[in-house]
Amino acid sequence: MSKQCDNGFNLNIVKALAKIIKENDLGKVKIKNSDSEICVEAKPCPPPPPIANVGAPSIAVDSADAPDETKDDVVSGNVCKSPIVGTFYAASAPDKEPFVSVGSQVHKNDVIYIIESMKVMSEVTSEFDGRVKEICVNNGEAVEYGQPIMIIE
């Protein structure tokens, strides 16, 4: 024997309507007949949480296991960081020479690499005058916002 709701509808019908809403991602279902009406609405989903800009995961190192820091471990020079999340490209096309390589002399506002993000190629210019000491990423590698790309001294 099936249970009846206060409005006279069969509880199994109400459950079936709720299932239809859920399975078909509907907002609501409304049914009318000559003497009654039922409306079943889905609970609105909360908005998604904002996306946090998360850097590379940090790794905890026991101080006993940590290597002794020497002057060679300290970065000297100006660090050029990625202005956006995307893919690093050293040249304007696969068959072209890289904008710069280790040892290249660069001037402020020279194009030094490209970041592709969402199918848009963005030329990145140097903020510094100097010589390229190190390129920290490989061509075609994914980079994060603020990730060191190269060091100019």
Task: Spell out the domains of the chain, with CATH numbers in brackets.
Answer: 11-41 (no CATH), 76-152 (2.40.50.100)
Q: What is the pLDDT of residue 138?
A: 93
pLDDT tens digits, 10-60? 777 777 777 777 777 666 667 777 777 777 776 665 555 555 544 444 445
Would you say the pTM of this structure is higher than 0.85? no
CA–CA–CA angle 49, 50, 51 (5° rounding): 115
Q: 78-81 and 111-117 as β-strands: parallel, antiparallel, unpaired?
A: unpaired
Q: How far is CA 26 from CA 18, 21, 29, 57, 110, in A?
A: 10, 5, 8, 39, 54
pLDDT confidence tier of residue 98, bands split at 50, 70 and 90 = very high
Two tokens, residue 146? 């603020």
